[in-house]
Structure 1
Amino acid sequence: MFHNVQTFPHLTQAQHRELPHVSNTDLSNLKAQVLGQLRTPSPAALIYGTAFHAATLEPATYARTADKCPWEQLEQLARLVRRNRYCRDLLYRGQAELTHTAVHTATSVPVKVRPDLLVRSPAGRRLTLIDFKTTSCRDLSHFLTTIEQYDYDRQAAFYLDALGATRFLIIGVQKKPPHQVWRVELTTIPSLIEQGRKKYTRLLRAHAEQYTAREWCPQSKLLCHQPLSGIAA
């Protein structure tokens, strides 16, 4: 499904965003565009999400910024995750925030993925991808209903296929008390992954069709197929 997979271990989050390849977020934007929806992500939510991931995955480099954000709550949640026995083991064994690029074979669309955490089994035969998500859901059953609503199934299939991984876990973290931490393995539901695969395939085909139908526009990231340059693997 994908080929020419490459890894870029030293890229920052900002450098990852600058890559012209198509990301899962770009697919969400394209979906909104195709459906005629206005998609305007909240800047506050983006700041919160970025900071939470930094505090959880890379605490040595985490620092508060001048942005308005509930820093104490965010840091409390990050500590909660890092103290959780299961998450602590994943964080110890895993590699955080590692950028990969690949090419979707059927459409020749270059893509990029950056799993929150990537864990290889000791023998190297199994690759597990972990994504941390904060949520305002009141309980686990409510959180499970958001998987399709927010296209987590598409993200899981997209990441699994691009990297040839075997498992995809979501760690859900309640923002409000009792601050429960939930573990959801999407790969235990093959029909969900297949549904996500169909979603990302349709969107990549739509992207490819747009690209061939229109001239490349520097302002349109979704239509940019420029190769990587100036980045050492």
Structure 2
Amino acid sequence: MSYYQLPRISNSDLSIAMHMLTGAPYEKPESAFRFGGVFHELLLEPEKFRTESCHGLDINLLYRMHRTVLSNHYCKALLEQSQKEKVILWQEPTTGIACKSKLDIIVNEESDRPLVVDFKTTSARSLSAFLQCCQMYHYDRQMAFYADSIGAKEVCLIGVSKQAKRLFFVQKYAASPFMEEGRRKYRYLLSRVKELDLFESIYYARQNNTVQEVSAAYHTTPNSNS
């Protein structure tokens, strides 16, 4: 069974849950999502990368962004001295829900201070703009979810700009306001998933790419929001 098929709750599943609970339109930017996926493969799993998977994408931009990352000594060291794309299966203690995470990079996993690193492709041209993206796309929730999956004390988000040859670093401790807010978000969503027993609906929406339809059906069901 692939990671995608595992019947556990991921951070992406929490995004599905959020749309089900709020009724907000599920507007997944497919082209940006696909670009980010291909870039992650090129950067973190180059042995799997195939140019055929880049059909319709700006391959020159992909390679330029890749070079920008590798030209940074800190990023290069991270890539050389870490575990990449590691699957973590864990149970969230406050709800007891079986969860899963797939972490871009874990540094010093065996130490008492592991570091979780996540790369994000972004259209931001400045650090302040990237920080706005962190709030807009709930990266605080994602990083708290990831950190708690292994008990990490620190996380680092690295934004790789599509618009400029720049990297944006957002490094946070596990107890920082950024992470505490993310933790509050993911625990609230998990508690609602458990309370309303949304597991099967989330798994169905994820596996069949029908988030909008499932969310709409949920909100037209009598007493669905009670």
- The match for 1:91 is 79
Match for 1:204 among 190, 195, 212? 190
Q: 1:78 maps to which residue?
A: 66
Opposite residue 144 of structure 1, the aligned amino acid is: L
| Separation of aligned partners in 2, 1:20 and 1:216 | 9
Residue of structure 1 in register with 2:221 after alignment: none
Change (3 A) 1:215 1:103: closer
- 1:112 is matched with 100
Residues 215 and 199 of structure 1, relative CA distance in 2, 3 Å threshold = closer
Whole-Å separation in 1 of the counterparts to 2:75 and 2:28: 28
Asked if residue 45 in structure 1 is aligned to residue 5 in structure 2, the reply is: no
**Which amino acid in structure 1 is aligned with residue 82 of structure 2?**
G
SS in 1 for 2:119: strand
| Partner SS state of residue 17, structure 1 | helix
2:187 counterpart letter in structure 1? T
Could you tell me how far 1:219 is from its partner in structure 2?
2.5
Contact 2:152–2:174 (8 Å) recurs in 1: no
Q: Which residue of 1 aligns with 2:139?
A: 152
Correspondences of 1:132-171 after superposition (within 5 Å): 132-171=119-158
- Does structure 1 retain, via aligned residues, the 8 Å contact 2:193–2:199? no
Gaps of at least 5 residues in structure 2 are 208-226
User: Offset of 1:65 from its aligned partner?
Assistant: 2.4
**RMSD of aligned C-alpha atoms?**
2.2
| Total equivalences in the alignment | 205
Identity of aligned residues (%): 32
- The structural deviation recorded for 1:83 is 2.2
Using structure 1 for the length normalisation, give the TM-score. 0.81
1:126 aligns with 2:92: no
Q: Is the 8 A contact 2:126 2:168 kept in 1?
A: no
Letter in 2 for 1:185: Q
Whole-angstrom CA distance in 1 between matches of 2:20 and 2:112: 39
Q: Match for 1:219 among 193, 204, 219?
A: 204
Residues 216 and 170 (structure 1), Cα distance of their counterparts in 2 relative to 1, 3 Å cut: closer
The runs of 5 or more residues in structure 1 that have no matched partner are 1-10, 223-233
What TM-score does the superposition give when structure 2 sets the normalisation length? 0.83
Checking the alignment, whether the CA contact within 8 Å between 1:155 and 1:196 is kept in structure 2 is yes
Q: Which residue of the partner structure matches residue 187 of structure 1?
A: 173
Q: Using the alignment, how far apart are the partners of 1:169 and 1:148 within structure 2? A: 15
Write the deviation string for residues 30-68 of structure 1: whole angstroms up to 9, x where unpaired.
112211111131322222111100111122321122532
Check conservation: 1:160, 1:166, Cα contact below 8 A: yes
1:115-158 per-residue CA deviation (whole Å, 9 max, x = no partner) reads 1111107x722200000011111211111122222111111111
* Higher mean C-alpha deviation, range 91-100 or range 184-193: 184-193
Matched, 1:26 2:13: yes
